[in-house]
């Protein structure tokens, strides 16, 4: 609605009980997703978040394995 010029950011925010900042952020992200603005697309953001979660899990797994190895070495 805002991008088409049907309503202002303020009108959309009021109509949907949102903050103007949230509406502006969505507009900005839509412009990135359509290639009209530089930045990470929504799918790239999702992939990055998933990779960060996986990286965190793998680091935790490595830590557990290191502790298990140290424990195993100590008990010999």
**CA–CA distance, 70 with 5 (Å, rounded to integer):** 64
- As given in the structure block, the two tokens for residue 34 are 């359509």
15 burial via Cβ count (<10 Å: 0-12, 13-18, 19+): exposed
Residue range 44-72, pLDDT digits in tens: 999 999 999 999 999 999 999 999 998 87
Q: With both helix axes pointing from N to C terminus, report the angle between 20-33 and 42-74 in degrees, rounded to the nearest 10.
A: 90
Query: In this predicted structure, what is the pLDDT of residue 71?
Result: 82
Q: What is the pTM of this model?
A: 0.69
pLDDT in tens, 18-48: 999 999 999 999 999 999 999 999 999 999 9
């Amino acid at each position: 609605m805002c991008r088409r010029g049907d309503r202002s950011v303020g009108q959309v925010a009021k109509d949907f009980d949102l903050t103007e900042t949230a509406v502006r952020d969505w507009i900005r992200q839509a412009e990135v997703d359509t290639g009209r603005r530089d930045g990470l697309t929504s799918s790239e953001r999702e992939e990055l978040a998933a990779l960060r979660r996986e990286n965190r899990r793998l680091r935790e797994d490595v830590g557990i394995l290191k502790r298990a190895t140290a424990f195993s070495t100590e008990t010999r």
